[in-house]
Structure 1
């Protein structure tokens, strides 16, 4: 793809997440959530942001497909497709906890090649490219390059858990544990060198599409905790109810140490 295409993608992602994020900040901590069929929460802000971003993509990239958390879950027959999580961390958003994000992933032929994640309360924006056509693999936080840690696992290193992965702690674990309440941010802390790893027991496709290219471009290793590969997504298939248990570590060499400790996550699903 020409450089002008990727410039347009970055400019669009910045503009729409800034605009939507500014509006969400006005209502953050002041809205009530309801439970969806899968037990996750949704607010009118999620639905508004989902629609706003989807409409903007349809206008700016009319040839691109779309899959969103609050809209269509079926993967379209398009070479390029955006996957949207309008508010990753809805529970945090409703309770006034400042860790929630707007997440955009761009897929080419079913595999993420670009991710853009904006956290309005923290004023942090991550983006990255991984095996994108005519673009170098690279990852950034607020436009500064980022890379994963090279430290060995140790008691003074951090590791991010999700709320559904705490069974892991029934056995000794080599790092300090943190739970942040946002699947995207859990993984991005690895990309930014804040943590050595992250475990997500039940993320959906919109939780991981944007962070998948970013963490790998930063040097991290992504390990699906199920036998089938996550990508490429298949045309016509619905991805609304499928979880993707995932382990992310800062260096591939640490997979062998952490994998035996987290296998209970996938076996409990």
Structure 2
């Protein structure tokens, strides 16, 4: 009997993760036998958890994407640009780190939703692991300018410095939001508003054709998406499509074949919509 290939998603909290469901669906499509589990690990336990895990690969989610980068024996170019990883592949030398967050976001926006990102002025809220993963790929997608705002301004400065594109990527203070002008795209990579249910930033930020994107999905995305609709954003998108697309890129890296994402996305979207209706 064929032994299943072993994979996992590691983070904290992790019980809500859809990654096991997504990868199981991908595996059924491609006739691949695998075992994919969710592993809860706090920041102090990440290194030990990875050392104990004997699987073929792992996805890394919050809050570990930056820390996991430092535990890799080797990294891909896009992981080095992000200085964060969300995909680990076991090699003879140790873990190889990759980052599929940015490619997943851009694919969801440009291919699934047919949105043109070129020439947009972008406001990126947050400078942690999630923001680090998507920022380089947004620049590659042809945006005109990116303004990074973070409550800890040093992290925003560090992210912009790492991007190496001072003509297009700039950092600003959170208190400066009201004076930054308007944007054709606003990306929320923070947890702001989750505790209170209210996302409090100026309504003057969106331009008339603004695209608003939250990198989270489900209840975590509700405060920002509600703000975006109230502010008049034309397109309002959560992170579910990005989640599916980045998972497909991870799956392709591990198995050498990219799965069909549309059926899986449709299944998860129907499930999420049903939960909202039930509430």
Please report the TM-score for the alignment, with normalisation by the length of structure 2.
0.28
- Whichever of the two has the greater Rg, that structure is 2
Please report the TM-score for the alignment, with normalisation by the length of structure 1.
0.29
